[in-house]
Structure 1
Amino acid sequence: MARRLRPVGPEFVETAPLRLVFAREVAASPEAVFHALAEDVPGWSEWFSAVTLARPTQDGAGREVRLLGGTRFEETVLASRAPELYAYRVDVTNAPGARALVEEWRLTPDGTGTRVQWTFAADGTALFRGTLKVGRAGMGRAFRHAVSALDRRLASTPA
């Protein structure tokens, strides 16, 4: 059953009771990575294997995302500052125990490529937070695989 989460702002990334932070360097430019994250939302399912559907809503101010296993999110974009920051809040989800969620993608030039940092900021029941802590390693692997797949996809896309 889908539930509405507590509306939080971008500052939640720093104040959330649980913050999972992952980073990886890629060869693609910050501009190319930002475009894939913020402007080619439907393309997420091509490089992030857990995503089965991603589409912009509200003329780009929101997103609908579905994951393998049936988890669904309705999101509001909180920040879209090319080429360095893309963040969104989950407003409605069927994930049990979630109370507030924000995801932030920070892109920093790194030599000729980009350092991609993903912060998953969450609040929820003790069981929800505990599940995320236990699942941290799996989320990290999923992030690394996704960002590597995105980098390969961007390398094969004509400029």
Structure 2
Amino acid sequence: MARRLRPVELDFAESAPVRLVFTAEATAPPEAVYAALADDVAGWSRWFTGVARSAATRGGAGREVRLTGGTHFTETVMAAEPVAHYAYRVDTTNAPGLRALLEDWRLTPAGGGTRLRWTFAADGPAPFRLLLTPARPGLDRAFRQSVRALDRRLTRP
């Protein structure tokens, strides 16, 4: 059953009790990376590890995401600044332990490609927060694999 999470604003990316920040570089230009993040939400399942299905809702102001294990999220897009910034917060989920979640993507040009910074900002009870620490390497690996898959998708002939 889906539960409503605490609504948070963009500043939660800097103030959350748990902040996991990951960076990677892609050879694709920022315009193409941003379009894949913000404009082709349905395409996330073809490159982001663990995403089984995703769809834009409310004319692009929201998203629905289902992970391969059955976890699902309804989200509100909080920032959509072309070529630079894309962020969304989770409004409802069936994931246990979460109280608030915001994911913040920052794009910067880097040597003809794009540097991506993904901030996973979350809150939950102490046991949930403690579990995220050992989960960091797995999230980092998934992020890096996903950026590589996205880059291949965007740069293949």
Please give the TM-score of this superposition, normalised by the length of structure 2: 0.98
Unaligned runs of at least 5 residues, structure 1: none
Aligned CA RMSD, in angstroms, stands at 0.7
Matched-pair contact (CA < 8 Å) for 2:49–2:143: no
| Greater Cα offset, 147-156 or 124-133 | 124-133
Q: Which amino acid aligns with 1:83?
A: V
Q: CA deviation at 1:49?
A: 2.5
Q: Which whole-Å CA distance do the structure 2 matches of 1:19 and 1:133 have between them? A: 10
**Is the counterpart of residue 10 in structure 1 residue 7 in structure 2?**
no
Q: Which amino acid aligns with 1:123?
A: D
| Greater Cα offset, 59-68 or 128-137 | 128-137
**Is the counterpart of residue 112 in structure 1 residue 148 in structure 2?**
no
Partner of 2:101: 101
Q: CA deviation at 1:134?
A: 1.2
In percent, how many aligned pairs have the same letter? 62
Q: Which whole-Å CA distance do the structure 1 matches of 2:37 and 2:14 have between them? A: 21
Q: Secondary structure at the match of 2:104?
A: strand
Q: Which amino acid aligns with 2:42?
A: P
Q: CA deviation at 1:126?
A: 1.2
- What CA deviation, in whole Å up to 9, does each residue of 1:32-65 have, x standing for no partner? 0000000000000000130000000111100000
Q: Secondary structure at the match of 2:21?
A: strand
Structure 1 stretches of at least 4 aligned residues deviating more than 2 Å after TM superposition: none
Unaligned runs of at least 5 residues, structure 2: none
Q: Which whole-Å CA distance do the structure 2 matches of 1:114 and 1:134 have between them? A: 28
Partner of 1:127: 127
Q: Which whole-Å CA distance do the structure 2 matches of 1:110 and 1:156 have between them? A: 19
